[in-house]
Amino acid sequence: MNILKNRRDFLRAARGPRRAVGSMVVQARLRSPDEGANGVRVGFTCSKKVGNAVARNRAKRRLREAARVVLPELGLDGWDYVLIGRFQATAARPFDALKSDLELALRHLHKNTVQGAGT
Protein backbone atom coordinates (compact mmCIF):
# COMPACT_ATOMS: atom_id res chain seq x y z
CA MET A 1 0.00 0.00 0.00
CA ASN A 2 1.49 3.30 -1.13
CA ILE A 3 0.61 6.71 0.28
CA LEU A 4 -0.70 9.53 -1.91
CA LYS A 5 1.25 12.73 -1.33
CA ASN A 6 0.79 14.88 -4.44
CA ARG A 7 -2.09 17.33 -4.62
CA ARG A 8 -2.64 16.24 -8.22
CA ASP A 9 -3.44 12.68 -7.08
CA PHE A 10 -5.90 13.94 -4.45
CA LEU A 11 -7.65 16.10 -7.06
CA ARG A 12 -7.91 13.17 -9.48
CA ALA A 13 -9.49 11.03 -6.77
CA ALA A 14 -11.91 13.85 -5.97
CA ARG A 15 -13.29 13.63 -9.51
CA GLY A 16 -14.09 9.93 -9.03
CA PRO A 17 -16.97 8.31 -7.18
CA ARG A 18 -17.33 8.91 -3.47
CA ARG A 19 -19.21 7.36 -0.59
CA ALA A 20 -20.04 9.08 2.68
CA VAL A 21 -20.43 6.84 5.72
CA GLY A 22 -20.82 7.64 9.40
CA SER A 23 -17.21 8.37 10.24
CA MET A 24 -15.60 9.32 6.92
CA VAL A 25 -15.94 10.07 3.24
CA VAL A 26 -14.14 7.74 0.84
CA GLN A 27 -13.20 8.85 -2.67
CA ALA A 28 -11.92 6.31 -5.16
CA ARG A 29 -10.69 6.10 -8.71
CA LEU A 30 -9.22 3.51 -11.01
CA ARG A 31 -5.83 4.68 -12.29
CA SER A 32 -5.16 4.65 -16.01
CA PRO A 33 -2.62 2.11 -17.33
CA ASP A 34 -0.07 4.81 -18.16
CA GLU A 35 0.02 5.86 -14.47
CA GLY A 36 1.20 2.44 -13.39
CA ALA A 37 -1.71 0.37 -12.20
CA ASN A 38 0.29 -1.63 -9.66
CA GLY A 39 -0.86 -1.76 -6.06
CA VAL A 40 -3.26 0.20 -3.94
CA ARG A 41 -2.58 3.85 -3.13
CA VAL A 42 -4.28 5.72 -0.33
CA GLY A 43 -4.35 9.28 0.95
CA PHE A 44 -5.72 10.82 4.12
CA THR A 45 -7.04 14.29 4.79
CA CYS A 46 -8.96 16.20 7.44
CA SER A 47 -10.07 19.80 7.10
CA LYS A 48 -9.92 22.36 9.87
CA LYS A 49 -13.60 21.63 10.49
CA VAL A 50 -12.43 18.44 12.24
CA GLY A 51 -10.71 20.54 14.89
CA ASN A 52 -7.30 21.79 15.86
CA ALA A 53 -4.06 20.11 14.77
CA VAL A 54 -4.21 17.57 17.57
CA ALA A 55 -7.75 16.50 16.62
CA ARG A 56 -6.91 16.34 12.90
CA ASN A 57 -3.80 14.25 13.50
CA ARG A 58 -5.69 11.87 15.79
CA ALA A 59 -8.40 11.43 13.16
CA LYS A 60 -5.81 10.78 10.44
CA ARG A 61 -3.98 8.24 12.61
CA ARG A 62 -7.23 6.35 13.10
CA LEU A 63 -7.97 6.46 9.36
CA ARG A 64 -4.45 5.19 8.58
CA GLU A 65 -4.85 2.26 10.93
CA ALA A 66 -8.29 1.36 9.55
CA ALA A 67 -6.87 1.50 6.00
CA ARG A 68 -3.91 -0.66 7.03
CA VAL A 69 -6.31 -3.34 8.27
CA VAL A 70 -9.06 -3.15 5.62
CA LEU A 71 -7.41 -2.22 2.31
CA PRO A 72 -5.25 -5.36 1.93
CA GLU A 73 -8.49 -7.37 1.92
CA LEU A 74 -10.90 -5.10 0.04
CA GLY A 75 -8.71 -2.65 -1.86
CA LEU A 76 -8.39 -3.37 -5.57
CA ASP A 77 -5.10 -3.32 -7.44
CA GLY A 78 -4.68 -0.15 -9.51
CA TRP A 79 -7.02 1.98 -7.40
CA ASP A 80 -6.45 5.22 -5.49
CA TYR A 81 -8.44 5.89 -2.34
CA VAL A 82 -8.72 9.09 -0.32
CA LEU A 83 -10.15 8.88 3.20
CA ILE A 84 -11.53 12.14 4.54
CA GLY A 85 -12.13 12.58 8.26
CA ARG A 86 -15.38 14.02 9.56
CA PHE A 87 -16.02 16.45 12.39
CA GLN A 88 -16.07 14.60 15.75
CA ALA A 89 -17.20 11.30 14.18
CA THR A 90 -13.81 10.02 13.03
CA ALA A 91 -12.08 10.52 16.35
CA ALA A 92 -14.99 9.43 18.55
CA ARG A 93 -16.24 6.37 16.65
CA PRO A 94 -15.27 2.96 18.08
CA PHE A 95 -12.50 1.41 15.99
CA ASP A 96 -14.56 -1.65 14.96
CA ALA A 97 -17.29 0.67 13.66
CA LEU A 98 -14.65 2.76 11.85
CA LYS A 99 -13.39 -0.38 10.07
CA SER A 100 -16.97 -1.40 9.24
CA ASP A 101 -17.63 2.03 7.76
CA LEU A 102 -14.59 1.71 5.50
CA GLU A 103 -15.58 -1.81 4.42
CA LEU A 104 -19.11 -0.63 3.61
CA ALA A 105 -17.83 2.32 1.59
CA LEU A 106 -15.38 0.18 -0.40
CA ARG A 107 -17.99 -2.45 -1.21
CA HIS A 108 -20.40 0.24 -2.36
CA LEU A 109 -17.79 2.02 -4.51
CA HIS A 110 -16.60 -1.18 -6.16
CA LYS A 111 -20.12 -2.47 -6.76
CA ASN A 112 -21.22 0.77 -8.44
CA THR A 113 -18.06 1.01 -10.51
CA VAL A 114 -18.34 -2.55 -11.82
CA GLN A 115 -22.02 -2.05 -12.64
CA GLY A 116 -21.30 1.30 -14.31
CA ALA A 117 -18.55 -0.24 -16.46
CA GLY A 118 -20.93 -2.78 -17.95
CA THR A 119 -23.38 -0.20 -19.32
Nearest of 13, 15, 33, 14 to residue 78 by alpha carbon: 33
Question: Percent of the chain, pLDDT > 90?
Answer: 75
Domain positions in the chain: 2-108
Tens of pLDDT, residues 39-89:
899 999 999 999 999 999 999 999 999 999 999 999 998 899 999 999 989
Annotation: CATH topology of 2-108: Ribosomal Protein S5; domain 2 (3.30.230)
Q: Model pTM?
A: 0.89
Residues near 64 by Cβ (< 8 Å), separated by ≥ 6?
A: 44
